[in-house]
Structure 1
Amino acid sequence: MEQTKIAQTVEFARSRRASLTAAIFLMATSAIGPGFITQTATFTAKLGSAFAFAILASIVIDFVVQLNIWRIVTLTRMRASDIANSAIPGSGYVLAILVIVGGLFFNIGNIGGSGLGLNAMLGLDPKWGGALSALLAIGIFLSKRAGMAVDRFIIFAGILMIVLTIYVAFASGPPVGEALFQTFLPSTIDFATITTIVGGTVGGYITYSGAHRLLDKGMVGVENLGSVNRAALTGIAVTGVMRYVLFLAILGVVASGVVIDVSGKGANPAAQAFQVAAGDIGLRIFGIVLWAAAITSVIGAAYTSVSFITVFNKDITERGRNIATVIFIAVSLFFYMVITTPPAQMLVFVGGLNGLILPIGLSIFIYAAWARSDLMEGYRYPRWLLVLGVIVCALTWYMGYKSIGPIFALLTA
């Protein structure tokens, strides 16, 4: 009897740890998708060391957004759209539509990113590479143990991506001192750049990916709040390190005087940077990194976007959600195959689009934390976190206002 209890305790601890790890990597790999990689190469070529400030801004905003969202979702035991409807009747439907539409655009870009990755890795045509990657993602969701398959694949791909990027960062020899200086005192501040990079790392569906995964795994309530906070902070730390390492890898190439082509229909700026830094092996490494980032983001975008459909149908089963996710990926693939916008350009645009969606959802959540504390099991919401949330809300609204024109201009550039 005693051995059975011990075995059950060990199994519970293992399951709990696996749930937290899965949520961390789902958030991290969603935040370090092909959009971020392409955006980092594009903006580092444009701004040089000054782009470090945009990365710092994205990490700070990420910190405030994720701590608020993860805390509210797990305390209320409700999905984001249901929380929104409870705070402001009808707003949950609006938020769900925005996230689903933004996720669809993002997934078109993610599939494009997977195509670019296989092109750099194997020389495969990007359209065919994107199609094969989308079919792999569909296969994962059609498997009988889809949840476990998603978790294990995302963790493996995330670790692989980080290790390979660190190698290229060392190979490129970036000016670390200048980068650190401009992280805090930039020579240039570009709001459209910051909005785009924030949108590509914490905007749209990304905001809710880890929180919804925890909800599905049962990691909810006040009793799990400490673990949830640690998981959120760990996820933010992982994404922050990866963002900065990727930036340094590309900065080393830019600082050496190499001109990276960010224009033209076939431009793949990140691939150029990795190839200059480490030769042909660097190009293959880039292909692996971009493909891993893209395929995990295809899975994350589809999973999280579809998790919002429960606001329209409360009775949908897990199997039904998996089928809806497969349809979501298939629709994304169809649009990717027919859209003529270059994949790299599309990846920059969707980051900006999700940056415009971010302040809407965040504003609703901050209002819910202030006005609907009754939904959180009597938990007293930290005033400091609420104040930071209000500040970030105001900041993201302002950045969105300043950059909406330049972001949509990307589609016609």
Structure 2
Amino acid sequence: MDQGNTAFLLIAAALVLLMTPGLAFFYGGLVKAKSVISMMMLSFGSMGLIGVLWVLYGYAIAFPGAEGTLFPWSIDGSALGLNSLLETPEGAAYPPLAFVAFQATFAIITVALVSGAIADRAKFGSWMVFAGVWATVVYFPVASWVFNFGLAEDGSFAYGGWITHGLQDVFGVGAIDFAGGTAVHINAGAAALALALVLGRRVGFQKGANVPHNPPFVLLGAGLLWFGWFGFNAGSELAADGTAALAFVNTIAAPSAALLAWLVVEKVKDGKPTSVGAASGAVAGLVAITPACASLHPVWAIVLGLVAGAVCALAVELKFKLGFDDSLDVVGIHLVGGLIGTLYLGFFANNTGLFMGGNGAQLLVQAIAAFAVMIYSFVLAYLIGFVIQKTIGFRVKNEDEIAGIDTSVHGEEGYVLTDAR
């Protein structure tokens, strides 16, 4: 067992876990002051619920074995409760539980991302029901499509997901998704769009009606997300090597460029570059580089960041033109950014992209992967959300929404400005 790589993987897992509290600050700062606790609790609720489900059966669905290529999903019964993963096989690079821990943090952050689309108007209990069901029937299977590493007899990990391994059998190349452009960002973005449609628009929804109540929270959250993202991207190599170093550098380059591009668009379009725009641009770049971080020259990573930052800055305006209320721009940043990063690889991936010595097959499989995940996630998220709304109810009462849902849902206030004692 390689203790260095084991330590690397465990540290990366800790970094990715930090991303969810970072997301809570990022989202919390974007909502109104009377909804900040509710918004942050959606992320913390996801941490608790998905952490438990991952141990009980999530890993068994997401990683059903080296031959687990069934569509849409299969399950490894021996891995339920992680029973078969407690011992380290002879010759394994690191304990299986280190990989389990790393992937658990991916599941947690993906579910939490979806919550940004329903800010200011969702019941906490209904969100928890949605989170558990969606993770079970959407995230865990989709993670298997992309990330599925099965333990081979020699203790090594082997690919088994249809998006990577299966498409390669058909087209000669598999889709490239190093750290989760499809499984995390397109997946969460499509589900967010579905939930935004199910819950409908907030009271008084229009451009300029809802402004972030705490931009410093937004910047703090973006900083924590960026910090954790190094574990997300470089850690996906599962080893401290040159590929991890490339992923690390690209996780600096792309979001830096995206931040600048977003600010330029803001300046041209609205006359002023904003702190929230800087934070959003950085996140858009992080989203776009996620699938591509190990497959791009750093210069092409900068180009990707510029494209993602500019396009996502424009895409967040679509909700006003199309009439759907994606409260915190999960669609405009994560769905659009995920699509950009995934499809960009079809053109510029090292040695295989259309413009980098490859052919159209790489672009084709990237598109198949992206749109398969998007459609699957959207349809099932809409159905799950619709059933919850029609049974136990998903949306709070209008009067609670107007007053702010922290008190009505959680019995707390985010800011106590007077001492009543």
Does TM, normalized by the shorter one, top 0.5?
Answer: no
Normalised by the size of structure 2, how large is the TM-score? 0.32
Greater length-normalized contact order (CA 8 Å, ≥ 6 residues apart): 1
Normalised by the size of structure 1, how large is the TM-score? 0.33
